[in-house]
Structures are given as structure tokens and as C-alpha cells.
């Protein structure tokens, strides 16, 4: 069972990578930033700075499964990303089904009554928050004495 935070959460996408942070106390994930991802690959220097600045014990990556639970091309791309991330930054990695993270992010943005520009800016970061919070809850329920 992984140690509780601090963790970085990753919402991997082919164009953008949402990043969030959850501290040791598990008091709610904090959206950090959205990192570019494109034809040249992710902005590895930006990801490296985030890891250096926030000093996570582990990275929690959302696995974009298909509706039937199988892995498709997006999941394969996320796994390739994670493999390169592990080579560059040897931190423990944990995976969690992210199928509902985008819906959670959308619900949170609607509740906050954010503008379209703000929603576009925060969508991936809030999905990364949902990934972290789901993983935290999963770990908390599987720990003795919790």
C-alpha cells in the first residue's frame, strides 16, 4: 500500500496534461497547472520543475479507459508517457481509472459558475484533482484503522 502524500496527480491528454498536488494531510487536491503536450511530446522541463518544486513521494496517473474498461490508444499513450516520466524522474507511480474525472471536473466548474475561458484553463487541472482525490479515498479505505 502506498504512503499517503504528498502526491502529484496527472491527467494525461494528447494536447494537455493537467497537474494537481495533494499534501500529506489529504485535505483536498490543489490544481497546479496545465502542461503542453503535442507533436514534440510533453514539456518535460515544466514537469521536472513541478516535481522539483513540490517534492512528491509518488505520481498518480489517470488511466483513460474505454467505456467497457478496456485500454485503447489513449491509455497506451498514457502508459508510454508514464514510462518516460519514470526514466526521467524515478518516483513510484500509481494508476487509477480516470473515466469519471472529466465529469467531476465539469461538475466542479459548473458549481463555481466559471466563465468559458476559466473552464478551458482549469478543466485538465481539476480532472487531475479528481484523480488524486479518488486515489486518496481508495487508499484511505484500504488502510487499517481508517
pLDDT digits (tens, 9 = 90+) for 89-135: 999 999 999 866 565 656 665 566 767 777 777 889 989 999 998 89
- Give the start-to-end residue ranges of the domains of the chain: 7-141
d(CA 65, CA 71): 5
Q: Identify the band that residue 146 occupies on the pLDDT scale cut at 50, 70 and 90.
A: very low
pLDDT digits (tens, 9 = 90+) for 55-91: 999 999 999 888 898 999 999 999 999 999 999 999 9
Class of the CATH domain delimited by 7-141 = alpha beta
pTM: 0.84
Assign 75 to helix, strand or coil. Answer: helix
As beta bridge partners, residue 52 has none
pLDDT digits (tens, 9 = 90+) for 22-35: 988 777 899 999 99
Contact between 5 and 24 (Cβ < 8 Å): yes
Amino acid at each position: 500500500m502506498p504512503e499517503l502524500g504528498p502526491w502529484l496527480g496527472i491527467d494525461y491528454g494528447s494536447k494537455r496534461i493537467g497537474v494537481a498536488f495533494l499534501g500529506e494531510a489529504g485535505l483536498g487536491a490543489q490544481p497546479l497547472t496545465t502542461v503542453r503536450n503535442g507533436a514534440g511530446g510533453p514539456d518535460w522541463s515544466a514537469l521536472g520543475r513541478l516535481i522539483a518544486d513540490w517534492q512528491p513521494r509518488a505520481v498518480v496517473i489517470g488511466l483513460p479507459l474505454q467505456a467497457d474498461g478496456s485500454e485503447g490508444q489513449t491509455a497506451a499513450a498514457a502508459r508510454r508517457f508514464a514510462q518516460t516520466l519514470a526514466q526521467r524522474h524515478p518516483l513510484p507511480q500509481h494508476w487509477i481509472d480516470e473515466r469519471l474525472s472529466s465529469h467531476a471536473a465539469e461538475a466542479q466548474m459548473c458549481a463555481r459558475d466559471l466563465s468559458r475561458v476559466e473552464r478551458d484553463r482549469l478543466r485538465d487541472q481539476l480532472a487531475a484533482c479528481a484523480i488524486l482525490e479518488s486515489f486518496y479515498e481508495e487508499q484511505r479505505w484500504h488502510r487499517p484503522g481508517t
